[in-house]
Amino acid sequence: MNKILLYSRLVKFEHTIFAMPFALIGFFMATMVTDQVHFWRLLGTVILSMVFARNAAMGFNRYLDRRFDAANPRTANREIPAGLVSAPKALVFVIVNALLFVAVTYMINPLCFALSPVALFVVLGYSYTKRITPLCHFVLSLGLSLAPIGAWLAVTGSFAVAPLLFSGVVFFWVSGFDIIYACQDVEFDRQYLLQSIPVLTGVKNALRISVLLHVATFVLVIAAGLVMEANFIYWLGAGFFGILMVYQHLIVKADDLSRVNLAFGTMNGISGVVFAVFVIGSLYF
């Protein structure tokens, strides 16, 4: 049990909450347009695929960044630099989760299985991007944006507009709040030649870019609701989601980053879950 907790801390398992609600949105939307007789089995495989893919991605990020994490006072107590998990064991953890992800997609349908290497390439490849481009935030958000469309494909085996719009919501939402999170490490990243939007533009301009990305997020939330011909329950959830996005920008300032973790973890975690509850609820009522 201690090892389970240790590895869950290694990959920040609680941050699964960012993409999982949108995977569930995609899943439940898909069940409304298909006669699905294997509901619970499919739901289980969708959840497992999300967990295994994210474990592989986050574990690989921790493995690859272990030297930087050890040098950064903010991250020096993470499991690998602190000596709680060895680098080889972390790499084995990544490989096992990647293989489990592929195995689960094989159980879903041929299309998901065929696309599984692409998904792994995106979510694992993100870990290299901070070394080569300030657009790394968008690679991270691209990986998480696969959640709603991936869940939809698991059920239907085909593409559709509504889940693609929700993938867009995740893409702009995650890139926006990841830029906020990266503002904490601007000086460290400059010293170690790591790239990010805050390093490129400065913290003040990075926060402005984050605002624009979250405006785009809400535009896509509206577009998805219109395509779904959503009822008032959806729009209540959309309003709550929008308010919490605004709130995180009110509490994080260029000259005061003390509440970045509140904005990054707490506010976004709550908003994603609550929005998903309202969206899924709107499908049934």
pLDDT band at 36 (very low <50, low <70, confident <90, very high): low
Q: 129-161 pLDDT, tens per residue? A: 999 999 999 999 999 999 999 999 999 988 999
Q: Work out the average pLDDT over 172-185.
A: 96
Q: How far apart, in whole angstroms, are the C-alpha atoms of residue 24 and residue 53?
A: 15
What is the average pLDDT across 250-276?
88
Alpha carbons 116 and 92: distance in angstroms, whole number: 19
Residue 45 CA to residue 102 CA, distance in Å, equals: 11
Q: Which residue bears the tokens 């009522």?
A: 285
Structure tokens at 93: 């953890």
CATH superfamily of 160-285: UbiA prenyltransferase (1.20.120.1780)
Q: What is the pLDDT of residue 92?
A: 97
Higher pLDDT, 39 or 68: 68
Q: Would 35-129 and 160-285 be classified into the same CATH topology? A: no
Q: What is the pLDDT of residues 6-29, one digit of tens each?
A: 899 998 887 788 899 999 999 999
Residue 264 confidence (pLDDT) above 80: no
Residue 37 has pLDDT above 70, yes or no: no
Residue 125 CB: number of other CB atoms within 10 A? 14
Q: Which amino acid is at 251?
A: I
**β-sheet bridge partners, residue 253:** 256
pLDDT of 124 strictly over 60: yes
- Among 66-80, 169-183, 252-266, which stretch is predicted with the lowest mean pLDDT? 252-266
Instruction: List all residues 6 or more positions away from 243 whose beta carbon is below 8 Å from its beta carbon.
Output: none
* Mean pLDDT value across the chain: 94
Report the range of poorest mean pLDDT among 91-105, 150-164, 205-219, 261-275: 261-275
- Give, in words, the CATH class of 35-129: mainly alpha
Element (H, E) at 213: helix 203-228
pLDDT tens digits for range 241-257: 999 999 999 999 999 99
Percent of the chain topping pLDDT 90: 85
What pLDDT is attached to residue 126?
Answer: 94
Label residue 193 by pLDDT band (50, 70, 90): very high
pTM for the structure as a whole: 0.95
Domain assignments of the chain as residue spans, ordered by start: 35-129, 160-285
